[in-house]
Structure 1
């Protein structure tokens, strides 16, 4: 099974012109719906992936906003009073903790979906083609001459970023839950995370790791939105709308071998 991919940027309003072949990733084929002419729409992002994406996005935004407040409270009562009256910090912490549990369950589901999703739900960084594609994609984003193929799913740079995001998510989960259960080390859940200091250091270092990795998520969020809009403009294949509908619009020749 092969995927026809373009080397040349297509003119505005048209789909990419196929010029060479790129081996299609292994895995369950994606659903294809014929459209007019020689175009089809491909179900690249299945419903579970789209649900994961939006839950993850919302959880990250809530965690960032509440985390910034917890680290540096920027709102306080205009009249000094007993903290229990307004309980603002308490509510912010509760929202942060609830969002953290949702984020963790959502992350675990994404790991599970690697086994059951279609061929666009997982990437293999151990293949040589992954790294050569990464190099060409990097040149593409730097506006240099390149031979970047056209990818139906994530390009290698995006795939690598999501692998790093998965590792960062693990760091946030471990350090976050350690801090949450730190006052109750004798509890069952506290004992589950008692080993975290052996990996990240003392309580201060654990908080520092949590804070540092949180900034990685903030930078990722900005870059992710920009690159998605850029890809949507250059590819003209519905990249932005695909995270709502799941479908991308492609020439029929690009999707040979799908269902």
Structure 2
């Protein structure tokens, strides 16, 4: 069957995608080192450094995600959520149709891809929000760091003395209360970390399989913007 190049993914989508890939992979690697700091023999200063880098990369990740969310509402074509997420009109019918023809070519994401993308966006948003809270309670970084540092300071006029892993000017009862507050955020963040990792592995496998089955340039389209689809 003759194929023709069709422009699908805008430059904004492609920039978001690859910046997202780079930031998530970096965050996963850093996250694994942080979770296994004792195993790797990481010092206290080393942990602070790892968490600082993790937080900075997290800002890039979350800013990129927020921009993508905005363009989902104001963008054009396949930038819009109506053509990306698994909530558009007729989605159930499309899902049933693709269940019978799983390798049927699609201009944008097929229904299974939309389910995957919807799940990824949901857990990425959860990861970003919980990460901001953890950064505030762990290394006192914005946007919540100043609030938490002030809340645990014995002398509110010397908040600048509050440092990660330091007990100087720290009210231990207030510190304990803060750590208890952050516990559900930590658990959610770690759970979401593993879910995203599994989803990404499944996403990559699905893309490779679809590429081999359809030859629609699914992978190269995220570089060029063009998929090769059957002539209508």
Q: TM-score normalised by the shorter chain: which range applies? A: 0.7 to 0.9
Choose 173-182 or 225-234, whichever is displaced more. 173-182
- 1:58-111 per-position Cα deviation (integer Å, ceiling 9, x unaligned): 11111111112111223227xxxxx47xx4323221221111000010001101
Runs of 4+ in 1 over 6 A off after TM superposition: none
Aligned to 2:41: 76
2:214 maps to which of 211, 231, 235: 235
Shift, 1:246, TM fit: 0.9
1:175 aligns with 2:130: yes
- List aligned pairs for 1:18-57, cutoff 5 A: 39-57=3-21
* Cα distance in 1 between the residues matched to 2:218 and 2:29: 27
Aligned to 1:106: 64
1:90 aligns with 2:48: yes
Sort the Cα spacing of 1:99 and 1:88 in 2 relative to 1 into closer, same or farther, 3 A.
same
Q: Could you tell me whether the CA contact under 8 Å between 1:123 and 1:159 is conserved in 2?
A: no
* Cα distance in 2 between the residues matched to 1:188 and 1:159: 32
How many corresponding residue pairs? 195
Shift, 1:123, TM fit: 4.1
Greater relative contact order: 1 or 2 (C-alpha under 8 angstroms, separation 6 or more)?
1
| 1:120 match: secondary structure | helix
> In angstroms, what is the RMSD of aligned CA positions?
2.6
Q: Could you tell me whether the CA contact under 8 Å between 1:120 and 1:154 is conserved in 2?
A: no
1:133 aligns with 2:94: yes
Sort the Cα spacing of 1:92 and 1:106 in 2 relative to 1 into closer, same or farther, 3 A.
same
- 1:141-186 per-position Cα deviation (integer Å, ceiling 9, x unaligned): xxxxx1455311101221122222222122112211111112688x
Q: Under a length normalisation based on structure 1, what TM-score does the superposition of the two structures give?
A: 0.67
2:80 maps to which of 111, 115, 122: 122
1:215 aligns with 2:212: no
Aligned to 2:22: 58
* Cα distance in 1 between the residues matched to 2:226 and 2:40: 43
Q: Could you tell me whether the CA contact under 8 Å between 2:7 and 2:225 is conserved in 1?
A: yes
Shift, 1:132, TM fit: 2.2
Unaligned runs of 5+ in 2: 152-179
